[in-house]
Amino acid sequence: VSRKWQSSTFVQDIVLYAGSDQVEVVNNIDWHETHALLKAAFPLAASGNSATYEIPFGTIDRPTTRNNSWEQARFEVPALRWADLGNGIHGLSLLNNSKYGYDCKDNVLRLTLLRSPVSPDPNADRGHHTFSYALYPHAGDWKSAFTIRHGYEFNSTLTAMQVQPHAGALPPVHSFVVLNGEDVVLTAVKKAEDANGLILRFYEWAGKDGVAQIHVPAGAASATLTNLMEAAEGAPLQFTGSDEITVPVHPYSIMSVRVDYPRNEK
């Protein structure tokens, strides 16, 4: 879809891959406006009294009404990878990978794409832009539709690489770390600051108690829950199988596990 408006040009590729449950919109925009704000707006069949927005390590519900000055001031709110509007029976998640301003009034969910202020930067956003957002319609609410996973997948797409055929030492299916649990997301894997080990950080997003099973790289000597400063908290975790740890999780909790490995003295 190609169009022009005033001094700007817009080209959108609307992409639906075979077997996909979401529509991707790839935008190529040459933006040359002043004192204009560009939004993508979606009037939806499903609406509710509040919309849900992703925030760091969680979500927040904000009203879709404008009944008082507090609600009227929410003409633009921040979100990370997605916002969702629905009625519990069905809804739509609007995913993004580089645009973080949303608003929702009644049944219209909008995403801010470009601005053109003159202060403090008189050339802000002017020029050529390429970015994408995606529409993910779903049954049920955003939790049962696993919108949280769609947001991460849209922002961290897999990269396929073709190599020459070879036997290789790894099995046909292999992962460095596996986190099993529908309501937990692994957000970081890093070297421990003050130990010879790995820090695995994840969080619970659905508001439920449960357990997470983590399969870690082979050869671990021990595993311990830590705080965000990587200081150990509580007794060492027990391995329930070969290189597998079971960790209790609580609603909306941020968890860190330190997995220690023997030092290589060579």
DSSP readout, 213-232?
EEE--TT--EEEEE-TT--B
> What's the angle, vertex CA 35, arms to CA 32 and CA 38, rounded to 5?
70
CA distance linking residue 4 with residue 253, whole number of Å: 47
Which amino acid makes up residue 261? Y
Specify the pLDDT at position 240. Answer: 86
CA distance linking residue 12 with residue 25, whole number of Å: 6
Cβ burial 166-185 (10 Å sphere, 16+ → b, else e) = eeeeeeeeeeeeebebebbb
Specify the pLDDT at position 180. Answer: 92
End-to-end CA distance of the chain: 61
The two structure tokens encoding residue 234: 């509580």
Specify the pLDDT at position 211. Answer: 92
Residue-wise pLDDT tens for the chain (266 aa)? Answer: 999 999 999 999 999 999 999 999 999 999 999 999 999 999 999 899 999 999 999 999 999 999 999 998 888 999 999 999 999 999 999 999 999 999 999 999 999 999 999 999 999 999 999 999 999 999 999 999 999 999 999 999 888 889 898 888 888 888 999 999 889 999 999 999 988 999 999 999 999 999 999 999 999 999 999 999 999 998 899 998 789 999 999 999 999 999 999 987 55
Strands (E), the chain: 2-5, 8-15, 23-31, 37-43, 50-55, 58-63, 77-78, 82-86, 90-96, 101-105, 108-115, 127-139, 178-180, 184-191, 197-204, 210-215, 222-226, 239-241, 244-249, 254-260
Which amino acid makes up residue 98? S
H or E element in which residue 150 lies: helix 147-155
Specify the pLDDT at position 170. Answer: 84
Specify the pLDDT at position 168. Answer: 84
DSSP 173: S
Compute φ and ψ for 69, nearest 5 degrees: -65, -30
Specify the pLDDT at position 227. Answer: 94
CA distance linking residue 232 with residue 227, whole number of Å: 7
Specify the pLDDT at position 25. Answer: 98
